[in-house]
Amino acid sequence: MTDDTTPAASGGGTPWHLWVVGILSLLWNSFGAYDFIMTNTQGEAYMRSAGMDDAMIAYFNAMPMWMYAPWIAGVWGAVLGSLALLLRKRWAVYLFAVSLVGAAVSLVYGLLNPMPMAEGMEMMKYMPWVIVAIAAFLWWYAGRMAARGVLR
């Protein structure tokens, strides 16, 4: 009997779940990249179309410039990490670590400077926690795949 992560069980050295995690990760993180691009290129029009009110838009507009560093690291580290995972590259572990640090810094900033929530957007207050949890899982998963020799 073989483990589902052994090369024999996965047909060529890549376990089936790497493709599932990699594709879902790329889809999830591509939305983060889309949101980043649209927020920074379309600004208020995009934020309003997402349901944000004046107070939420003002919060984003007042974000200090230094917060762009963790935001960029979180978003683009995750996208690149997803691509590296699908390419079975060991550096996926490091890219997901960068993404996790960026997401964690963003979470802490949000805890210290809470965003006002528009009516109907209350669930958004949980999103930073979800993002950090997913980033932590992806870092852990890539680390496990690297330790098993799946990532090279």
Instruction: Kindly tell me the sign of the dihedral angle through the C-alpha atoms of 7, 26, 73, 139.
Output: negative
The pLDDT tens digits of the residues spanning 22-60 come to: 999 999 999 999 999 999 888 889 999 988 899 989 998
Residue 3 located in a structural domain: no
Residue 80 located in a structural domain: yes
Q: Is pLDDT of 7 > 60?
A: no
Residue 7 located in a structural domain: no
C-alpha distance from residue 55 to each of 48, 58, 135 (Å): 11, 5, 28
Q: Is pLDDT of 9 > 90?
A: no
Q: Is pLDDT of 12 > 90?
A: no
Report the percent of the chain where pLDDT is more than 70: 92
What DSSP state is assigned to residue 122? G
The pLDDT tens digits of the residues spanning 117-150 come to: 877 778 888 999 999 999 999 999 999 999 999 9
SS (H, E, C) 62-114: CCCHHHHHHHHHHHHHHHHHHHHHHCCCCCHHHHHHHHHHHHHHHHHHHHHCC
Residue 103 located in a structural domain: yes
Give dist(CA 94, CA 137) in Å, integer.
Answer: 13
C-alpha distance from residue 106 to each of 96, 112, 129 (Å): 15, 10, 10
C-alpha 42 chain-centroid distance = 21
What number is the average pLDDT over the span 92-105?
Answer: 98
Give dist(CA 88, CA 67) in Å, integer.
Answer: 31
Tokens of 49: 């179309």
Tokens of 53: 């009110």
Q: How many domains does the chain have?
A: 1
Residue 106 located in a structural domain: yes
The domain of 35 spans 14-147
Sole residue written with tokens 């410039």: 65
- Predicted confidence at residue 51, as pLDDT, reads 87
Residue 5 located in a structural domain: no
Residue 132 located in a structural domain: yes
Residue 1 located in a structural domain: no
